Amino acid sequence: MNTFAPDTRQGPAALVRRAAARRLLATIRPAGLYAAAIVALSIWILHGFLLPLLVACVTAIASWPLYQRFASCVGSRLKPGAVALAFTSLITVFVLAPLMLALGALVLEGRTLLEEFAALDKTGLAMPSWVADLPLAGAWLAERWSRDLARPGAFAAWMQRAGPSAFVSWAQSLAQFMAQHLLIVGFTILLLFYFYREGAALALQSRRALRHAIGERADTFVQLATRAVRASVNSMLVVALFDGLAMATLYVIVGVPHAMAWAAGTAALAILPFLGYAGLLALALKLLVTGQATTAMLAGALGGAVLACGDKLVRPSIARDGTRLRFVWVLIGCIGGFEALGLVGTVIGPVLLTLARELWEQRLRDLDLGRVTEARPLDAMPTPVSSRAPSGPSRSPLCHAPPEAG
């Protein structure tokens, strides 16, 4: 009895599935399994460093023209590794210094705010007259203010009710957050130095791999991605400059103390979408505590409008020039990318949507080309000539023989 004969009792569908499984197993080779295992393990090892990799890659692509100019100026006097190290140091100072100054200003103002809270808590925080006049929630806010803030020692009592364990856990969470982000910043700087030093070779290898995978279209995709990355980064810098100038003018007009310092801090935070509102909220709270309610409301309302214009209008309009996306898609890419990946997502989001748009348009072009190719043989077919056509000259369009001479 032949044990390898197919079981005729099985249905046709089962036989087809078994044949497909045999063909699949025949195509799998040990070398392919080994390569797949290596790739999977490498991704598993590197997944925790995805954020530093993305940040360093985006920064290197956006600043590569500047790096080439810098290298052409000092390359004859320094080795390639020293050139990459020097430029990495410049970029680090240029990017981190404004953020550190902004955070430092906010920390100092927060400390001043807590000291003012402690001083006012000894006599009670007087309720502004406009609180009770607010629509809908005015009476409820006035009652809670009188009960929780107006009496002396209310703030200290609230801190005692919160308990020391809550502050300890908050401090631990803050310490973990700072340690994690310091680690991310450190690895980002290290990877950025590597990308500057090996950038040309990495770009060439990536292009070769993409050409092998998707053909000549790889060059188009690389150019689109590069242009979109640089446009998104430029939009972040333009938004910070716009918010800084507008906020400085606004704070001076409404009479905010230390207007330039607050404007610089708000502009540095506004590099990230919607993070500038944190600086604006801190300023409004300080003005409210010090009894400048009118200034706080004006600064909050007008400053919120400025930040909204920067996030909703200036950022998408600058990024649209490089991504060739409409306003709504640039905005969706920035916000969705920020929710998924944080700061680097404001760049990655529009870039991915740009590539998706190019894929869609390329697919439509392929479909149109396919329809033209299918229709062309029908149009190019020669018109059949009847075998019984007269041998003499004829005026019929079906006859292609030239007329006889004479």
pLDDT tens, position by position, 106-165 = 667 667 766 766 676 666 666 666 666 667 777 777 777 777 666 676 666 666 665 556
Residue 271 pLDDT class (50, 70, 90 cuts): confident
What pLDDT band is residue 394 in, cutting at 50, 70 and 90? very low
Residue by residue, DSSP assigns 139-169 as HHHHHHHHHHTSSTTHHHHHHHHH-HHHHHH
Contacts of 48 (CB under 8 A, 6+ apart): none
CA distance 247 to 259: 8
> Do the domain assignments include residue 18?
no
Residue 385 lies in a domain: no
Asked whether the predicted pLDDT for residue 396 surpasses 60, the reply is no
> Per-residue pLDDT tens for 189-248?
999 999 999 888 888 888 888 888 888 788 888 888 888 888 888 888 888 889 888 998
- Full domain range(s) for residue 214: 49-133+179-366
**Considering the domain boundaries, does residue 256 fall inside one?**
yes
pLDDT at 218: 82
Residues 6+ apart with CB under 8 A from 281: 300
Average pLDDT along the chain: 76
Write out the E strands in 166-297.
Answer: none
**Is residue 223 in some structural domain?**
yes
- Structural domains counted in the chain: 1
pLDDT, residue 88, reads 92
Domain annotation covers residue 270: yes
Residue 391 has pLDDT above 50, yes or no: no
**Digit-coded pLDDT (tens) for 273-317:** 777 888 888 888 778 777 777 888 888 889 889 998 888 888 877
What pLDDT is recorded for position 159? 62
Whole-number Å distance between alpha carbons of 261 and 244: 10
Does the residue 82 lie in any domain? yes
Residue at 189 is within a domain: yes
Half-sphere exposure of 226 (CA within 13 A, CB side): 14
Highest mean pLDDT among 18-27, 35-44, 162-171: 35-44
pLDDT of residue 268: 79
Sign of CA dihedral 189, 192, 196, 202: positive
Is residue 140 domain-resident?
no
Percentage above 70 pLDDT, the chain: 69
Tell me how far apart the terminal alpha carbons of the chain are, to the nearest angstrom.
Answer: 86
